[in-house]
Amino acid sequence: MKIKPFFKLMVEKKASDLFFVPFAPAKIKIDGRIVPINKVELTPTMVKEAASEVMDADQMEAFSRELEMDFTMSEPGLGRFRVNAFYQRGNISMVLRYITAELPTLEDLGMPEQLKDLAMLRRGLVLMVGSAGCGKSTTLAAMINHRNENASSHIITVEDPIEFLHPNKQSIVNQREVGLDTKSYRRALKSAIRAAPDVLQIGEIRDRESMQSAIDMAGTGHLVLGTLHSNNSTEALDRIINMFPEGQHNQVFMDLGHYLRAILSQRLVRDRAGKRVAAVELLVSTPHIKDLILKGDITGVKDALRESSDKGMQNFDEALLALYKSDTIELEEAMSHADSRTNLEAKINFGG
């Protein structure tokens, strides 16, 4: 079965993902809901043929050897697609994500104004956290785009794979894809130090080594933007610390206290029209937050975030409250995503 005709359907329906799985019809995801395209059940042979259509001979050979493959491809007239192919129960399955050709803006995404300032920082560490598929890469691309349009900088991105393409505007943007332009994150990050970047984007901080590289680069006068899988800002701090041996925890807290500038965490919630919008938590390194991190007091950071909306910060419940007050989302949608239903309900009923 040919898979490329489904690409056009994805664009027409504004679908984010296409699922090609044996023994089920092809399905697409629209605004977070997965729906079948037709009633034709895909066979393992059909999915294998589709994989052969989107991979070249070298990729098919690597896929047969590694049993998984992640890459991006371009389809003329439509845009770019991220392909994730893997084996399950002995058969090939594929998930393809549509990457819009138009670079997102922070305004389009409804991001807090503070992100523009964060994108223009001269140095420090800024992290985007959230679950898979919550839009971290899109927000990061919007920040890079803002910097590119408003500053003369050298920007290096290390991605696996490259999603959004950044043309040179006010800045020079060098985008490196792991597996295509570099052998590994480790080698790319080591090389980046010698390339005199003003801004370094790390597509995903996956381990202690990449986290240490991010901290080191931030500590030597660069702005480092990266993503991390975590539910919220304080869980992200916990995860970072636990990447390192216990004997290094105090030093990591010291480094984060000095170099961390902000952690942005986002979740996608459904608006009244059924589309998805971002609810954003923003932890900013104010003097008080910096002092708490230096002391290793993550619980104190959580308490301060809950109480510090007047200092440029915002927790998830405050973000949900703002979306509800602006009539963007339903009450139950706000409640279902709240960190504390009790606190959010009190804010709604008694003002906040």
**pLDDT, tens digit, 9 for 90 and up, residues 225-268:** 999 999 999 999 999 999 999 999 999 999 999 999 999 999 99
Give the pLDDT confidence of 219-237 residue by residue, as tens digits: 999 999 999 999 999 999 9
CA dist 171 and 287 (Å) reads: 31
- Say if residue 123's pLDDT is above 70: yes
Burial 210-245 (b: 16+ CB within 10 A, else e): bbbbbbebbeeebbbbbbbbbbbbbbbbebbbebee
Q: Which domains does the chain have, with CATH numbers?
A: 4-99 (3.30.450.90), 114-314 (3.40.50.300)
Among 294, 306, 151, 293, residue whose Cα is nearest residue 223: 151
pLDDT value of position 82: 93
* Spatial separation of the C-alpha atoms in residues 48 and 171, rounded to whole Å: 42
306 versus 82: which is more confidently predicted? 82
For residue 309, what pLDDT band results from cuts at 50, 70 and 90? Answer: low
Give yes or no for a contact between 194 and 111, defined as CB atoms under 8 angstroms apart: no
What's the average model confidence in pLDDT over 96-113? 92
Candidates 300, 306, 299, 259; CA nearest to 282 is: 306
For the chain, give the mean pLDDT.
94
pLDDT digits (tens, 9 = 90+) for 1-50: 788 889 999 999 999 999 999 999 999 999 989 999 999 999 999 999 99
**Helix 316-325 / helix 341-350 crossing angle, nearest 10 deg:** 40
Output Rg (C-alpha) for the chain, integer angstroms.
21
Mean pLDDT over residues 147-165, rounded? 95
The fraction of the chain above a pLDDT of 90, given in percent, is: 85
Query: Which pLDDT does position 133 carry in this prediction?
Result: 84
351 pLDDT higher than 80: no
Confidence category of residue 349, pLDDT binned at 50, 70, 90: confident
Q: Residues 280, 281, 283, 284: is their CA dihedral positive or negative?
A: positive
Taking Cα atoms as reference points, which of 251, 261, 250, 253 lies closest to residue 292?
A: 253
Q: Helices 298-307 and 287-294, interaxial angle, to 10°?
A: 160
Whether the CB-CB separation of 11 and 98 falls below 8 Å is answered with yes
DSSP 263-296: EEEEEEEE-TTS-EEEEEEEEE--HHHHHHHHTT
pLDDT at residue 310 in the model: 58
Alpha helices in 55-129 (DSSP H): 57-66, 114-119
Name the nearest CA neighbour of 134 among 228, 216, 11, 223: 228
What is residue 352's predicted lDDT score, i.e. its pLDDT? Answer: 57
